[in-house]
């Protein structure tokens, strides 16, 4: 009886030791591992570049996505970017359109005539000028029967065309150690005007950044953004015969 109890205790001790070793092995394998999602960099649509001396950082530079059709030739394309001033002095940044060059010009690179801030707020329509009073000679003359003939209806005034949205050059002042964010939405947009070709997904516009602190200009491209969600799939219509 004593041997049986002793053997049982011995086996229990062995099983407890195996369980403890297994637990330590599992915990050791899990320690130090990084989740796959934690190792991935956040996806952005745009390009990240720095000024030649690194005083200005340009992040997430891209053209706002506008469906598979993109932007037509001669139209405008809004830009998105964030600018960060790494210096202790304010910096003025001027953005202009750059003519595309090279054999890739006709395939993926698109240029524009200018880059401007466009105010999209509805401008006030100027009031119509008051109409001139009718001259006495315009009054209807009495007819033979003594009744006045009806006068011709006055010509309707032509509708007044509202003025075009106001624009200003793409010149940005970034405060010392500050930032300037262009979201591509709101009442004022930073746009590339006068596209020389259709700007569709997969193509980029070429831009030049000039800096007031004496750094050389930076020439870079702004790709067309990617959609935040996949395009809806086309649905097929079937008839009564199943085709």
Tell me which residue of 214, 168, 164, 215 sits closest to 188, measured CA to CA.
168
Contact residues for 176 (Cβ-Cβ < 8 A; gap 6+) = 85, 87, 88, 89, 90
Residue 17 resides in a domain: no
pLDDT at site 239 = 56
Residue 206 resides in a domain: yes
Residue 16 resides in a domain: no
Q: What is the dihedral of CA 149, 154, 155, 159, to 10 degrees?
A: -160
Q: What is the dihedral of CA 215, 219, 223, 228, to 10 degrees?
A: 0
Residue 233 resides in a domain: no
Residue 150 resides in a domain: no
Tell me which residue of 108, 75, 118, 73 sits closest to 206, measured CA to CA.
108
Contact residues for 174 (Cβ-Cβ < 8 A; gap 6+) = 56, 83, 84, 85, 90, 91, 92, 93, 180
DSSP bridge partners of 172: 93
Residue 105: which pLDDT band, with cuts at 50, 70 and 90? very low
Tokens of 159: 């509708």
Residue 192 resides in a domain: yes
Domain of 69?
Answer: 43-121+165-222
pLDDT at site 129 = 58
**CA-CA distance, 93 to 84, in Å (whole number)?**
11
pLDDT at site 186 = 85
Alpha carbons within 13 A on the beta-carbon side of 59: 13
Condensed to tens digits (0 to 9), the pLDDT of residues 72-100 reads 999 999 999 999 999 999 999 999 998 86
What integer is the mean pLDDT of 158-164?
Answer: 66
**CA-CA distance, 119 to 115, in Å (whole number)?**
13
Residue 20 resides in a domain: no
The residue length of the chain stands at: 243
Condensed to tens digits (0 to 9), the pLDDT of residues 182-197 reads 998 888 999 999 999 9
pLDDT at site 58 = 98
Higher-scoring residue by pLDDT: 70, 135: 70
CATH (domain of 99): 2.60.40.1890
How many domains does the chain contain in total? 1
pLDDT at site 99 = 80
Higher-scoring residue by pLDDT: 176, 28: 176
Residue 52 resides in a domain: yes
């Amino acid at each position: 009886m004593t041997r049986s109890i002793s053997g049982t205790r011995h086996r229990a001790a062995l099983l407890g030791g195996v369980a403890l070793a297994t637990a330590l092995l599992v915990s050791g394998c899990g320690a130090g591992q990084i989740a796959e999602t934690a190792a991935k960099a956040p996806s952005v649509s745009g390009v990240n570049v720095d000024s030649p001396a690194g005083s200005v950082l340009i992040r997430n530079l891209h053209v706002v996505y506008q469906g598979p059709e993109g932007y037509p030739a001669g139209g405008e394309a809004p830009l998105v970017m964030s600018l960060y001033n790494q210096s202790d002095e304010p910096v003025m940044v001027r953005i202009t359109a750059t003519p595309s060059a090279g054999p890739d010009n006709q395939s993926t690179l698109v240029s524009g005539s200018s880059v401007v801030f466009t105010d999209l707020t509805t401008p006030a329509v100027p009031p119509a000028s008051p109409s001139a009073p009718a001259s006495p000679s315009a009054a209807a003359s009495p007819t033979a029967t003594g009744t006045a003939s009806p006068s011709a209806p006055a010509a309707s005034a032509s509708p007044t065309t509202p003025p075009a949205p106001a624009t200003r050059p793409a010149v940005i002042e970034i405060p010392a150690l500050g930032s300037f964010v262009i979201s591509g939405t709101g009442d004022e947009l930073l746009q590339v005007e006068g596209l020389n070709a259709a700007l569709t997904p997969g193509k980029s516009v070429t831009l030049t950044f000039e800096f007031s602190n004496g750094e050389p200009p930076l020439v870079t491209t702004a790709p067309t953004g990617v959609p935040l969600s996949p395009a809806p799939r086309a649905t097929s219509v079937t008839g009564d015969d199943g085709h």
